[in-house]
Chain A
Amino acid sequence: MRNRTKLPAVFLAAVMAVMYLPILMVVIYSFNASKLTAIWGGFSLDWYGKLFQDREIREALVNSLVVGGLSCLAAAVIGTLGALGNSRLRLRSKGAVEYIATLPIMIPEIILGMVFLAFFSLLDLPNGMLTLVIAHTAFCIPYIYMMVKARLVGMDHSLEEAARDLGATPVRTFFTVTLPLLLPAVASGCLLAFAMSFDDVIISIFVTGPKVTTLPVKIYTQMKTGVTPEINALCTVMLGVTVMVLLLSGLFRRLGRRTGQ
């Protein structure tokens, strides 16, 4: 190949090793029998047992899943239809709306968190599930919108035209032709958005209520007090979920590429 030396490969491997080192630490220490992180006390699954008995953590996990699910669903509908509509509209406002709609992933999260906090208090919306879902929907939309937009550009539009020429109504054309063609993009956008929602700390901290907290917020507050083995176990479980979501996302993308050509 072009590389004459082994240097690039060594560099790539070294950087990757450092990338994975902290993650590996968390996983290894989640099986540590000792309560002190500094000491290795043998292999144990105790912390996982403790984890599943912790009611607060279970509730936070359910909240996170519900928030992620609902926001993804809302963002999928709004983002997909929006990208579709925007690609066909000839309006000057098009660019502006697209710009504002994708702002939530362009500006620092702290700003988004603060504006939502202020805005919801202006509207007298109590912080809780509803505010969490609205805020998460706002930053989930850009992922799905961009994915669908990219897909629309590469799509063969003659299929839709054929359906329309054969007498299908616009709604029917959408459900039988357009949506199936867009589905891989929607699905991979959704998974990325879900991963982002499931991981979000900063925005959630601002819009989370005293009764409803998400898993990352819960972990964050516990982490501020120091290292505990229970969090190790929890993090390992979350890691498993992420890897699974990622594998699924890759699968959808591959499917999309295959049907797109």
Chain B
Amino acid sequence: MSRPASGAAAGKIGGAGRRSRGVWLTALPLYLFTIVFVAGPLVYMLVLSFQTKAEGWGVEQVFTWNNYLRILDPVYLDTFLQSLKLAVSTTLLVVLIGYPFGYFMAKLSQAWKRRMMMLIMIPFWTSSLIRLYGWMILLQAKGAVYQTVRFLGFDIDPLKVLYTYPAVLIGMVYALLPFMMLSVYSSAEKMDWSLVEAARDLGASPMKAFLSVTLKLTMPGLLSGVILTFVPSMGLFFIADILGGNKIVLVGSLIQDQLTRGADWPFAAALAVVLMIMTTLLIFLYQKVTHSTELEGLF
């Protein structure tokens, strides 16, 4: 996952002057597509969020702030807070499991690193639905976990985990953990371990050496993992839907509900704009803190 050093090679991409027209043509499809199908819809979302919902189905072109004010309604504010709570708990758990994982993985031998990478990649690229489905089988009242415990001779009541908050939390942590593992690993792998040894030789305790050297050097990976966990966890409505059984309503589910059943597109757009602003702020903060434009470990 190490990125090749740019330096000299990048400097050589000169000659832009003599073939700039051709170069323009190659970039044109990207510019067109990006402006029409990415920037366009996002701008439209912003416009939509200031419009008024028409009676029945549709949108009226009347300017209003009401959609944003409605978010402050206790019912919706509560949904935002609940989403935030879930996102924060998910992120914390992911850090607690994913950070040591990435750290230990970076200390493995070269061959084991490669094997571990492959092992992480398979669940990572496996349909998240399939993996959720596996949890449903496991957590069902008389599912696999219950059966196993019974088989081992313990007498327990049927599980009451599926369709509750813990089930959603398990699903979220499980779905997002690989991002943290990969980000931290990518950071720790590039780290110069001799610095830790130097700190130890100079008399730092293992704890001190970890906090002042290792943690600092793996910070970009940790932060990138936090973003890659936190941002999607605000919108993964289908995990809450399937493992939470409609009982846990998140911002994502709210947006989907407003779009389909509620038919209130402007309000859905306002919710999405707020979510988008939160996301962008986080990424902006990351870039300021780490002085990097790319998220660690994503590629």
Contact = CB atoms under 8 A, between A and B. Distances in A.
Contacts of A25: 134, 137-138, 144
B13 interface: yes
Interface string B3-17: 110100110110110
A93 B32 CA distance: 13
Task: Place the interface of chain B in its size category.
Answer: 35 or more
Contact of A114 (B20, B174, B255, B283): B255
A85 B27 contact: yes
Interface string B135-157: 11110101110110000000000
A232 B132 CA distance: 12
Given A146-B299, A150-B299, A153-B10, A82 B30 contact: yes
A118 B232 contact: no
Interface string A33-45: 0000110000000
Contacts of A22: 131-135, 137-138, 174
B259 A117 contact: yes
Interface in B140-195: 140, 142-144, 146-147, 174, 177-178, 193
Contact of B128 (A2, A79, A201): A201
Contacts, number: 273
Contacts of B20: 89
A100 B33 contact: no
B232 A97 contact: no
Nearest to A29: B137
Given A79-B30, A108-B235, A115-B42, A85 B24 contact: yes
B251 to A, nearest CB: 8
Contacts of A114: 45, 255-256, 259, 268-269, 272
A156 B9 CA distance: 7
Given A26-B130, A150-B299, A195-B125, 18 more contacts: A8-B100, A8-B107, A22-B137, A38-B147, A78-B33, A82-B26, A97-B30, A101-B38, A107-B279, A110-B272, A110-B275, A111-B272, A118-B48, A122-B44, A152-B13, A199-B128, A201-B129, A232-B133
Interface of B: 3-4, 6, 9-10, 12-13, 15-16, 19-20, 22-31, 33-35, 37-42, 44-45, 48, 97, 100-101, 104-105, 107-109, 116, 118-123, 125-138, 140, 142-144, 146-147, 174, 177-178, 193, 231-232, 234-238, 241-242, 251-252, 255-256, 259, 265, 268-269, 272, 275-276, 279-280, 283, 294, 298-299
